[in-house]
Structure formats: C-alpha cells, structure tokens
Amino acid sequence: MKKQHEAFPRLGRRDWLKGCAAGALCLGGCASLGRHNSDDYSVVLLGDTHYDTFPSSTYHTHYDNDRKAEWLWRVQRAEFMRNGDMWAERCPRLLKASAACLPSDARFVLQLGDLVQGDCDDQPTHKLMLDDAMQLMKRAYAGRLPFVAVEGNHDIRGDGACEAYHAWSNATMGRELGQTVESTTYSFRQGPDAWVVVDFNCPDPDRINRLVDETEGARHLFLVTHGPLVFSDSGSFRWSLLGAPKYNEARRALIAKLMRRRAIVLAGHTHVIDFKRLKSIEGELTQFITSAVWTDEQMAFSKPLYTDPKGFGSLNESRITDERARADFRACIAEVAQNLVEYWFAVAAGHVTLAVSDRSVKATFYPGDARTPSQMFELSSTRA
C-alpha cells in the first residue's frame, strides 16, 4: 500500500493559526469562493443519497440474479425502485432547498457515504454512476463548492466496484481538495480545523490513530465516517466503524482519545437523524448522523422518537429473538449508555448546514425540502 500524503504535520495551536492567517490552511477549491478573512465558516452536510434513476437499466443492465441468492436479488431490486422514486422528484427538491439555504460563508459540501446505490456489476458503469451523482450534486450548488465524500458500503457494492470507487475517489477527492489523496482514509484541513475522513468498510486503526494524532493543535477535530463510531440503536448496530468484536479494544481506545480532544464525529448509514453527546472523565464527544434518504413525504414531518438518553437502546431490542445476539446488543448499548448525556433520534430525512466558529459548532437540520429549520444541535461549544 502506498504511503498516504501527510496532510497534517505536528503543529501547535499557534502554528495552526499562523498558517491559517497566511492562507495556507484552506481547501484547494476555496479559490473559487474568494478570499476569506475569517475562521468562521459553514459546511453543507448531505447524508446517504443512494443516487439512482429510472429506468433501472441505466446503471443496472448487467445486474442479474445468476450469482445471487434469490432473497438478495429481490431486496436489491426493491432498492432500485425506492431510489428511482426518490430521485424522480423528492431528492432534487431536497438539493434545491439546500442550495437555497446555502450560507454565504459555505466552504464545501460534505457527503457522508452511500453517494450511489452501486450494484452495477461493471466498473465503467459504476464510475459513470459516481460521476453522474457528484456532478448532479455539484450543479445544485452552481459548481461553486468543493465536494467531499466518504466511502459508504453501497459505493463499493458490485463486481469490481471497490477498485472502481477507490480509483475514482483518490483522483476526485484529490482534485476537489487540492492535495494528493492516495487512500480512502485521509485528512484535510479547513482554516484552523482538522478533518479526518475514514473508510469504515476496511478500517485501519493504526492509520486512523496516526491521522488523529497529527491533528494535535487544531481548533476543532472532525472525524468523518459512513458507519457511526458510537453505536446507533439500529438493527445493524454492529455495522459501525470498528464495530466488529475484534475491534472492541481499538474502538474504545479511539473513542477515549477523541473524547480527550472534544472531537465531533459525523456519520450516515442508519437513514435516521441521530445526535449523541458523551461525557466521561476522559472528556466529551459528540456524534451526529444525518440522512437524505427521503423515501416518502412523511419523513419530512417526522417527530423525534427520543429526546432523552433514557430512550437509547429501547428501539430494537424487542426485535432481536436470538439470545446471544440480544446479549451482544445489550453490551453494545451499555458501552454507550454509561457516558450518554444527550440523545435525540428521529426517522427523518433532510439537509443540514454546519456552522463552525471559535465559539461553537452547530448543526441545523432542515427536514425534506424545507427552507425553515426544525432542529439545531450544538456539537461543540466553549462551555466547560
């Protein structure tokens, strides 16, 4: 494996601020937005988008059930219909609303994985699907903003899709960021802040820890991953970053390290809106999950199921019938619940703006294609 470009030397906070003042710490694409004299900025957040279109033969001509279990073939065909229906009308409305709500200080668009449905079973078609999705989304913002995406499980689904995605991502993210990108786990910086992007499909704990360590001195540390780091109360609760039992020690150590840095985790995958704040003697960590999988109009009007930490863990336990699986679920829930001090959860979809400053980091959620926000989440603040 090639050595990934070292985006972050070990710098103290004074060095970070000096570099920022000199204009050296901005995204490669920032030139298109003009010169910025403030460390306050905004980011557009898009959760899972599962881009697809009708007819399904556009990207899935080579997709058949010859090599797949019948149940899987049925499930994935249903997903093609779901996604085509979303992208026929609702998701374009969502993007149009997001662009209309674009703050003047927006620096880039951050897409949290599952950019596309995948399942092309043909590398050129898979790359075409990725290019089409990205260009459609960049056009929604008039092509003015760099577009950054993290790898999701659907982004590498299909024969040869993993190789196609990695080649596409390294070249495309490198161009958008204005730096060399040779891995799907890498880092970049915006102003005085550090952004570590992590491939949750094939996690490398040593690489993740090294990249996090190299951001020492940053004002805010963001860890961006498709599958959440802190377990979500969902049916696929183990399908998280470092979620497999073999990673238990590495996951807990990483969470403790991020808590010492008061880090912010941004994720997708679960197709819900999910906010958690954890506190312990180590420090504090927040995780925010968002989704743009707008499967029906009602998801733009969903009320939160839980707004209190006491609700965490109650959503899916009753659905788990296997006793061993239930015991594992309870252990995962307990790992989070012992430090959980804030919790908000809704089965909803929409778009988000992230406002970043010295004082705070705030995520504002707009349901569906709304242009008036319904909820604001304080991800970080100057409070003790």
Q: Report the pLDDT value the prediction gives residue 106, as an integer from 0 to 100.
A: 97
Cβ pair 52, 59 in contact under 8 A: yes
β-pairing, 221-225 vs 193-198, is parallel
Residue 189 phi/psi, 5-degree rounding, is -130, 150
Cβ pair 268, 114 in contact under 8 A: yes
The domain 13-381: what is its CATH number? 3.60.21.10
Cβ pair 222, 264 in contact under 8 A: yes
Cβ pair 106, 44 in contact under 8 A: yes
Q: Taking the CB of residue 278, how many other CB atoms lie within 10 A of it?
A: 24
Q: Tokens at residue 346, please?
A: 């809704």
Q: Rounded to a whole number, what is the largest CA-CA distance in the chain? A: 60
Q: Tokens at residue 22, please?
A: 């000199």
In this predicted model, what pLDDT tens digit does every residue of 28-40 receive, in sequence order?
433 333 345 579 9
Local mean pLDDT, 10-residue blocks, the chain (384 residues) = 38 46 39 55 98 94 70 87 96 98 97 97 93 97 95 94 97 97 97 97 97 97 98 86 96 98 97 97 97 95 92 83 87 95 96 96 98 96 56
Q: Report the pLDDT value the prediction gives residue 121, as an integer from 0 to 100.
A: 77
Q: Taking the CB of residue 341, how many other CB atoms lie within 10 A of it?
A: 11
* Beta-carbon contacts of residue 294 (< 8 Å; ≥ 6 apart): 86, 90, 91, 94, 300, 349, 350, 368
Residue 219 phi/psi, 5-degree rounding, is -65, -55
In this predicted model, what pLDDT tens digit does every residue of 212-251 receive, in sequence order?
999 999 999 999 999 999 999 876 788 999 999 999 999 9
What is the pTM (predicted TM-score) of this model?
Answer: 0.91
Q: Report the pLDDT value the prediction gives residue 317, as an integer from 0 to 100.
A: 76
Q: Report the pLDDT value the prediction gives residue 30, as an integer from 0 to 100.
A: 34
Q: Report the pLDDT value the prediction gives residue 88, as an integer from 0 to 100.
A: 97
* DSSP label of 327: H
Cβ pair 315, 234 in contact under 8 A: yes
Domain boundaries, the chain: 13-381
Phi-psi region of 113 (alpha: psi -120 to 50; beta: other; left: phi over 0): left
Q: Report the pLDDT value the prediction gives residue 260, as an integer from 0 to 100.
A: 97
Residue with tokens 């089965």: 347
